[in-house]
Amino acid sequence: MFGPILAREWLVAPRRVRFYLIRVVFVLVLFSLVCTAWALLAGIQSVRNQGDLARFGVLVFQIVVPLELVVTMFLAAVSSASNVTQEKDRRTLVLLLLTRLSNSQVVLGKLASSLLSNFSLILAALPMLLLIAILGGVSLYQVFMATALIVVSTMWCGSLANLVAFWREKTFQALAITLLAIAGWLAFCEAIGSGGISFIAPHWAEVLSPLRAVMSLCQPIAKATPWDSLGGNVAVHCYLGLIVGCLFSMIAVLRLRVWNPSQQVRMQAVEPDEDYSADRSNLSEKAASWKARAPRPMWNNPVLWREVRTWAYGRKLLMIRLAYIALFFAAVGALYWSVTSGLALQRSRLSEELLPTAAKILAPFFVVSFVMINALAVNSITNERDGQALDLLLATQITPTQFLIGKMLGVLYVTKEMVLLPILLVAYLWFQGGISGENAAYSMVGLFVVDLFSCMLGIHCGMIYAQSRAAIGTSLGTLFFLFLGIVTCMMIMLSFRGSFARQLPPFLAIILGGGTGLFIAMGNRNPSPAIALAAFGLPFLTFFAITSFILRNQELTVISVIAVAYSFATLAMVIPAISEFDFAMGGRSKTVDDD
């Protein structure tokens, strides 16, 4: 059923070092979170009996399992989409369609080969969850049901990305539509859970949303009911996820040869032959019949002109913009409801959390915006390489400064909705009285700084990685895990509140691990002292900013630290890029794992 595509990945994947390295790093990160939480718990209270261990087990389980779910869903979406779009960019998908492989073997083989590493991560993390269950407070039923839910969520996210990647031609379109679809579905489920959709009962949110389902599963089981013995809402969610995943794959199988190759065939101009001078009149008549237009004036920076004045990333960007604007209006509606109901700045009851409701609405929307900007930035470079246009650009008189500024301004122009709408959302919150004018200005400055960092990180990864799939995965993964690490640290710190000096030692391992990961992603191919300082300083400064935010009334300190940290990291990537064209071309910078 899966064919030789999965067979090849099954045989080749164990030969790569990263196949084992990713699993080791993933389990070590989860184990470091458990150890950090234990160090914080032992620092604020004494563990005397089994009840204290059980409460600790429940708390750690509520942190580790949602983190594993979000990571696997993101990796499944990115890996499945990039695995197919890489074939399209290199024009090898047509060769697959010319073989004896059936539609199901191509679609399911690509899906299974993409999810192979994700399923290995889930299986590697299962012993860690069983160790948490030994502490108490968590049953084996919760562990195995959580694992099943993560597997199903990974499967349908990968199936959705696989479907969109076979449908769309451009890599950015596939990534953007997939991420917006997942984010939109989660936002829709949150609207159901909050009672914003009157004709759907709120309890359906636990059935439809994987985040709601896993959070309900992580709660201590007070009393088992016959419905719980059958799996409850989590089992229904798994069944629905399997059905939806199979439906996505079925649609992709049926429409594979309709969507590919693309039906958009561009007409070619008539080439002059030897009798060009004698047959000029006939040639002009043929050329007149061809739909040509007069050349348009070019700017001084042709790279910026192409990004701004042409549809370099496809006309389906309009659909992506409309979907993002719909998500924006959903966030506006949620903010309006939170402000009018008085919940905008209300504190949560969980562990005396200081995170207001407005921040829970704004933060996911901001992360989606940053990821979209980063995805377009890295694709702006990889598309040039895969289209064999990068060699031609390097042979022209375009300077490195023109190329870099053209790409950065072009990406920010194409994603202008992702840049401006979050700022308008902050302004709307200030207008409704949910935030002060000073904090609104700080938030806008921070958004602009992180926008520049996200854009430059994508361009940097596109330049230093020779393989498009590695560049896309590294760029999106670095940005996503950076924000996910921030959220995880905030969850742990808000659960174990204390002074900065007491919380710093337990978090040193996470800070050093995050700095090492950033350095490997940003400076593995072209290390420099500036990139090393930015990579190891960014996690520490971010941790300091989080601590200052929790202590309250230190907003100026927070924005100053964030602006300095991310601006320096951006400059550390900009300066080497404008000094010379440092691209990973062909086999010059390839490693064995890139093949």
Q: What string of DSSP letters covers 297-365?
A: PPPSSHHHHHHHHS-TT-TTHHHHHHHHHHHHHHHHHHHHHHHHTT-SSPPPSGGG----HHHHHHHHH
Q: Residue type for 116, please? A: L
Q: What's the rounded Cα separation, in Å, for the pair 290 and 262? A: 21
CA geometry: angle at 308 spanning 302 and 312, to 5°?
A: 90
CA geometry: angle at 415 spanning 517 and 82, to 5°?
A: 50
The sign of the dihedral angle between the CA atoms of 461, 463, 466, 469 is: positive
Q: The tokens of 269 are what?
A: 């101009």
Helix (H) or strand (E) holding 99: none
Side-chain half-sphere of 115: how many Cα atoms within 13 Å? 26
Whole-number CA gyration radius for the chain:
25
347-359 as b/e, with b when 16 or more CB fall inside 10 Å?
eeeeeebbbbbbb
Q: What's the rounded Cα separation, in Å, for the pair 490 and 11? A: 41
Output the DSSP codes for 164-218: HHHH-SSHHHHHHHHHHHHHHHHHHHHHHHTT-STTS-TTHHHHH-HHHHHHHHH
Note if the bond before 261 is cis, omega within 30 degrees. yes
Task: Give the three-state DSSP class for 259.
Answer: helix
407 contact partners, CB below 8 Å, separation of at least 6: 303, 307, 377, 380, 381, 459
**C-alpha distances out from residue 145 to 225, 227, 231, 407, 445, Å:** 16, 14, 8, 46, 43
Q: What is the pLDDT of residue 107?
A: 92
147 contact partners, CB below 8 Å, separation of at least 6: 122, 126, 129
Do residues 132 and 31 touch, judged by C-beta distance below 8 A?
A: no
- Report, in this order, helix, strand and coil percent for the chain, each rounded to 5: 75, 0, 25
Q: What is the pLDDT of residue 362?
A: 85
Q: What's the rounded Cα separation, in Å, for the pair 258 and 263? A: 9
Q: What's the rounded Cα separation, in Å, for the pair 524 and 518? A: 9
Q: What's the rounded Cα separation, in Å, for the pair 474 and 480? A: 10
Torsion-angle region of residue 231: left (phi > 0), alpha (psi -120 to 50) or beta?
A: left
518 contact partners, CB below 8 Å, separation of at least 6: 478, 482, 534, 535, 536, 538, 539
Burial of 337 (0-12, 13-18, 19+ CB in 10 A): middle
Q: What is the pLDDT of residue 581?
A: 64
Each residue's pLDDT, cut to its tens digit, for the chain (595 residues) gives 677 888 888 888 878 888 888 888 898 888 888 887 777 776 556 666 777 788 888 888 988 999 999 999 999 999 999 889 888 887 888 888 888 888 999 999 999 999 998 999 999 999 999 998 888 888 888 899 999 999 999 999 999 999 999 998 888 889 999 999 999 999 898 888 877 787 888 888 888 899 989 988 888 765 555 555 555 788 888 999 999 999 999 999 999 988 887 654 444 444 444 444 444 555 455 444 545 566 777 788 888 888 888 887 877 788 889 999 999 998 888 888 777 766 555 544 433 445 667 777 888 899 999 999 999 999 888 888 877 777 777 778 888 888 889 999 999 999 999 999 999 999 988 888 778 888 889 999 999 999 999 999 999 888 888 787 888 888 888 888 888 887 777 777 766 655 555 666 767 777 888 888 888 888 877 778 888 899 888 888 888 887 777 766 778 888 999 999 999 999 998 888 877 666 655 444 444 445 4
